[in-house]
Structure 1
Amino acid sequence: MYTAFVIGNIASGKSCATRYLEQRGALRIDLDAMAKDLYVPGSQLVLDIAERFGYDVLAPDGGIDTRELSRVAFATPEDSADLNALVHPVLIEQLSLRLLPPLCCTVTAPDPELVVVEVSVASAFTDAFGLADEIIAITAPLDVRRERAIERGMDGLAFDERASCQPSEEGLCALAQVVIDNTAGDDSLFSSLDQWLADRHLLSAQEVTQ
């Protein structure tokens, strides 16, 4: 099993990249979705988040209102760091269970050829990079990403708040072994991913050239 972490700032195209690789046959893990699954009503994590960000972040069922949490937790880099400090240890533990082979010899688990993990907050997740065989950065300039986000319906100020909590493109790319430029936002992204698969002999030739 080959594991690649795909990193990228908001509206860079990392979700598009991981979904494309999933279509090619990879197992895709979205860390944002995995984190939301951790917000179990009554859990210690939910209680810790509510104590730090206020009980308004609680949903009617006792879980987390992710929209409200995003609003308050991405207000400043300090707030984002505090949220990451609460969520990431639990998230890394769960991700390790998905990626590492079971300790018990009687337990069987799927062994996909390629696993791609979509990582939204790369700079705060570097302590988990040892779980990956390779880190791929999807990059695009800030102004291009802002325009894309607004075209998709995101408020410009909300984008600015989120972007201010993320690393520069240069800093992001420095975390990766492979950098794919998605400034164009066209099929060249898929061509680059196909070439990456071919260079590493991942997935069958038929899957890659479809």
Structure 2
Amino acid sequence: MILVGLTGGIGSGKSTVSALLAARGAVVVDADAIVREVQSPGHPVFAAIVERFGEEVRGPDGGLDRQALADRVFGDDEALAALNALVHPAVGEEIARRLEAEAATDHVVVLDVPLLVESGRDDMAALVVVDVDPEVAVERLVAHRGMRADDVRARMARQASREDRLARADVVLDNSGDRAALEAQVDALWPRLEALPPADRG
């Protein structure tokens, strides 16, 4: 397997790039999707979250009310640390399981993780960073996802800085333009990813 990291700040368009790479044949291991899986009813992590934070984080449908949970933990370092302690180990185990399942293949495996730079992980053949001006990202998230600007900025403050991500990047995709411009960059990137050296299984 050829292991490629994909990251970007909130609102950068990372999920769009992830989908474009999947359409070209990449196997995507999406940390955000795994988080949603472990936070779904019936999973031990969901039960632990409700026990720790109370019934107010359970939505009308019985699932997790993500906005209520976000309101509870952002701005409260202790609560956020408690949430991470419940969620991160389960997510890490599932990521490891999926990577192991691909280890013997010749697939390009894209590890799509918002906090990849912060994690210090260094076993990837390349790190792709999706970059956009933070204020553009705020505008997009407010307009398209209905998020509150102060909530977006609070989340950004907990991520690596734009400068840190760019300093670590092997490839930078500029998402300040339209989707066609982004797709053209992914088209150019794909053969480069396929030519990268495979992961060392030793």
TM-score by length of 2: 0.78
- CA-CA distance at 1:139 after TM superposition: 1.0
Does the CA contact (< 8 Å) of 2:5 and 2:116 recur in 1?
no
1:154 aligns with 2:147: yes
Equivalent residue, structure 1, for 2:158 = 165
Does the CA contact (< 8 Å) of 1:13 and 1:185 recur in 2?
no
Does the CA contact (< 8 Å) of 1:99 and 1:131 recur in 2?
no
1:157–1:83 Cα change, 3 Å: same
Once residues 78 and 7 of structure 1 are traced to their aligned partners in structure 2, the CA distance between those partners, rounded to angstroms, is 26
Equivalent residue, structure 2, for 1:6 = 6
Equivalent residue, structure 1, for 2:23 = 23
- CA-CA distance at 1:4 after TM superposition: 1.5
Moved more, 72-81 or 165-174: 72-81
Equivalent residue, structure 1, for 2:173 = 180
1:139 aligns with 2:131: yes
Segments of structure 2 that go 5 or more residues without pairing to the other structure are 196-202
1:191–1:75 Cα change, 3 Å: same
What does 1:56-205 align with in structure 2 at a 5 Å threshold?
56-59=56-59, 64-76=64-76, 79-101=79-101, 111=105, 113-124=107-118, 126=119, 129-130=121-122, 132-152=124-144, 153-201=146-194
Once residues 100 and 131 of structure 1 are traced to their aligned partners in structure 2, the CA distance between those partners, rounded to angstroms, is 13
- CA-CA distance at 1:132 after TM superposition: 3.3
1:77–1:168 Cα change, 3 Å: farther
Once residues 153 and 189 of structure 2 are traced to their aligned partners in structure 1, the CA distance between those partners, rounded to angstroms, is 32
TM-score by length of 1: 0.76
Partner secondary structure for residue 84 of structure 2: helix
Partner secondary structure for residue 183 of structure 1: coil
Equivalent residue, structure 2, for 1:105 = none
Partner secondary structure for residue 169 of structure 2: coil
Once residues 59 and 131 of structure 1 are traced to their aligned partners in structure 2, the CA distance between those partners, rounded to angstroms, is 38
Does the CA contact (< 8 Å) of 1:135 and 1:176 recur in 2?
yes
Segments of structure 1 that go 5 or more residues without pairing to the other structure are 103-108, 203-210
The percent of aligned pairs where both chains have the same amino acid is: 32
1:79–1:165 Cα change, 3 Å: farther
Structure 1 residue runs of 4 or more that deviate by more than 6 Å after TM superposition: none
Once residues 73 and 175 of structure 1 are traced to their aligned partners in structure 2, the CA distance between those partners, rounded to angstroms, is 28
Does the CA contact (< 8 Å) of 1:146 and 1:159 recur in 2?
yes
Moved more, 111-120 or 13-22: 111-120
